Structures are given as C-alpha cells and as structure tokens.
Structure 1
C-alpha cells in the first residue's frame, strides 16, 4: 500500500547515506544517523510552503475570533446554524477550518514508509527497496556506541545477542534519544499552543489541547521502551521534532512580521445564509 512512498523515501535515504558513507564509512553509525537526519531535513524543506500556509491560516483565524464569539453567542441554541455561519465566515475570509491538518497528514505516510524501510533491513535480506545487499549489510553492521541502530530496546535478549548488541547499550543510546525527542516535542507543542487561535476560540478544545504537550512525549517514551521502534526510527523522531521546534519559531516570526506590516485586519462579515421557505403550518 505504501510502496508509492517507501521507494522515494528509501531513495532519499540511499542518497544521503552515499554522501555521508563516503566520509565516515558505509557501515558507520554516524553516517546512517546523518543520512536519517538529512532525510528528515529534505522532506521537511519540501513542506515549508504548506507549513507557511498553515501558520497564515491560523493567524487569520485568530483575527476572526471576535466574530466567532459573536456567532457562538447569537446561535448558541442552533448548532446547525452556528456551524453554517462559522463556515461562511471562514470561507469569506479565505480561511480553511482544517488547514492545519494537511502538513501533518503529509508526514504520516513518510513515517510509516520509513518504518517499513527500516524493518526491511533484515538479516539474510538480499535487497531492500533501493538498497542492494551491500546496503542491507551496511545498515545491519552500523552501531552507535555499541547499540545497533536496527534493533530496539524491547527486543528479546536472544535476538540482540545474535545481532551483536545488548539491552544496556540500547538503553544507553535509546533513552537519551527518547528524552531529547520528547523535550523537543514538548517545546514545539507549547510554542504552537501560544500561536493557536483555535485554543483561544474554544475553551473545551483548549482544555484538551493543554494536555497534549505532556501526553505526546509520554507516548513517545512508552513506544520507545515497550514497542518495536528501532533506534534508527528514534533518530528520525528526534530530527523531525527538532526541525519542528525551529520551524515553528522562525516561520512564526516571519508570519508575525507579515501581518504587522499589513496593518489592522480587514475582516469580511459573512453574507446572510438563505433560509429555505416554509410552506404552511
């Protein structure tokens, strides 16, 4: 199902591994770690334009908050009319109610595809998408401080012994990766919360969302310790969360400057929604 994504993902990973493998050696854990990080940077660089669109849409949504509050109050007993009026308000002002979902949905196939590629580096495999036998052997032989990047913390001890590594080594490398990725997730989500107009417009959503910066790192910790998440995938999570933190900060400042230069917002009030005629009583 994800082959349409796994081959491009493996091709980008192969390219960066060739670059860093020429410097550090093909079986070097550093070469593979950098290849995974630059895979993230390549994909996220391609998603900068949608991310900017998301931030601009969120900023316009923030400007519409007073009108949204009026609509909620005016039609508090008519949820259908309330939803229709809000949808009309957003449409008239060029705001998508689901604009923030797009970049996240675009990244989901990449994560799943990378997981499939990493699990394809199996002992005895003669190829793995773009990688040939030498590429598979190179990945299987790569380690960081004695921890094989293709193994995971909760893997059975017999499998770890066969791979030439152990749980102490995996914990020594994997746990700091999980904690760093979790910290980057927490900080980026807190920064996004401060910029989110939706949180200010809906107290119920705000209460739920305030828990997310704590739940997301906790979920990452549980997944990394208890589920088959290879160290290479933890490296991916760390790189993508660090990128997200920096992107939220710098692109957020860029959008702030754009809206400051544009002056006070010109908000279009929604046109009246036609009501269906009522015949008889």
Structure 2
C-alpha cells in the first residue's frame, strides 16, 4: 500500500479501537460490531445533505426525461450535437444525469477503510485487535466460508437479500413509463449485488454493507413521501 494511504488507515484504526474500548462495557463481545454500525450511521448522517441533494437531482432528472427522449430522437444520428444539447439541457435545469450516484461515490473511501482494517493482521505498526471481534462466532476479519457456512454469514446473506428486495421495489417505483426493459431489469436485480459483494469481503465490510443499504432504503422511502 502506498505510504500516503497508511495515515488514514492508522487514524481510522485508532478511532474505531477507541470507540470499541468506550462501548465495550455496554456491548461486551459485540463491541466491535456495534462500533462498525455506529461509524457507518455517523458517515451516512454526515452524507445526508448530499443524499437530499441527490434525491432532488433525481426528481429533476425524471422531470426532464421527456425532453431528453425528444432530444435523443431528434439528434440520434449526430452524437456530437446530441451531447451538446443534453449538456445544455442539464445546465439550464441545474441538474446532472449522475446526481443519484453522489452518495454512493462518497461512501467508497469508508468502504475501502473497512475492507483494509479487517483484512490486515498488522495496522499502524501493531497487531490488529479489531479482527479479534466476532459476530455469532465468526471473526469480523473472516471471509465468507466456501464449504461451511456459519450462522453469521447466513444471517448476513438473508438480511442483505431482504434489504435488496425492498431497494429494488423502491427503484422500480421511481421509473417512469419511458423506462426501457433493460432499465427495469437493472433496477430489479442490481441491489442484489450487495449479496455477491459480501461473499468476497470480510464479515466487517459485509456488516457495513448491510447497515448502509438499510439506511439507504429507509432514506429513500422517507424522501419519496
């Protein structure tokens, strides 16, 4: 790992370790689990203004879809003109086609930290104490067992699938009549990618995915009212 990345990893390690120590009298053996959940909730709370802005951008983009479709049909054979007209429409409306991806992109550094912290035996020049934490008997640094599923991974997979189902329903509800069959299939199945992702990351990172996707579903449901 490049040396300039060691500083944020070490800082995150000491921060989460201090949090684990602080809540251990209350959480006991699940202090590390509680710390991951709390840190994830804090990150999502800090990103809430960005999420609200992204949701407004998505609604504005949905309102522009008829105009976008008309522009696409009109300039289908002239890609350069099409690109200019789409950019002009976005500039005039003050929105962007990528507004909905902002919260997800902003979370990537935190997800990377979770993956790194629970994938290394040594952090900040000392033995990594975080990977000694466990959930239902499975160490937080453990990857999904290939042949012997544990209760922790089974429960994580089921919960991620349930959250993905609700997320897919919300995504389908946001699509308008002009949505293509491909867009509908993508909205229906893309949320289940978290279950696949959890199979390749440490249990701690899977726990982060469960917490953040649950927050996203609740957030979308509230903002859509």
Q: Same fold (TM over 0.5)?
A: yes
Judged with a 3 Å threshold, the aligned counterparts in structure 2 of structure 1 residues 61 and 8 are, in CA distance, closer, same or farther, namely farther
Q: Which 4+ runs in 1 deviate beyond 4 A?
A: 199-202
243 and 8 in structure 1: CA distance in 2 versus 1, 3 angstrom threshold: farther
Q: Which runs of 5+ in 2 are unaligned?
A: none
3-state SS of the aligned residue for 1:119?
coil
Matches of 1:67 and 1:208, distance apart in 2 = 18
Matched, 1:24 2:27: yes
One of 199, 202, 225 as aligned partner of 1:230: 202
| 1:148 and 1:231 in contact (8 A); partners too | yes
Instruction: Give the Cα–Cα distance (whole angstroms) in 2 for the partners of residues 84 and 31 of structure 1.
Output: 53
Match of 1:92 in 2: 92
Encode CA deviations 1:201-230: one digit per residue, 9 max, x unaligned.
Answer: 552xx514523542542x4444444x3x22
The answer (yes or no) to whether the contact 1:6–1:114 under 8 Å persists in 2 is: no
What displacement does 1:63 show? 1.6
Indicate if the aligned counterparts of 1:16 and 1:39 stay in contact, CA closer than 8 A: no
> What's the offset of the Cα at 1:20?
1.8
Separation in 2, partners of 1:72, 1:192: 23
Instruction: Identify which of 148, 165, 170 aligns with 1:191.
Output: 170
Contact 1:142 1:148 in 2 (8 A): yes
- Cα deviation, 1:156-195, whole Å, max 9, x if unaligned, reads xxxxxxxxxxx75x52211111221132123224313422
Indicate whether 1:171 and 2:169 are aligned.
no
Q: Residues 1-281 of structure 1 correspond to what in structure 2 (within 5 A)?
A: 1=2, 2-3=5-6, 5-25=8-28, 28=29, 30-120=30-120, 122=121, 125=122, 128-129=123-124, 136-137=128-129, 139-154=130-145, 168=148, 171-196=150-175, 203=180, 207-208=182-183, 210-217=185-192, 219-225=193-199, 227=200, 229-253=201-225
Q: Which has the larger radius of gyration?
A: 1
Cα distance change, pair 98–4 in 1 and its aligned pair in 2 (3 A): farther
Question: 1:112 deviation in Å?
Answer: 1.3
Q: Secondary structure at the match of 2:99?
A: coil
Q: Is the 8 A contact 1:140 1:150 kept in 2?
A: yes
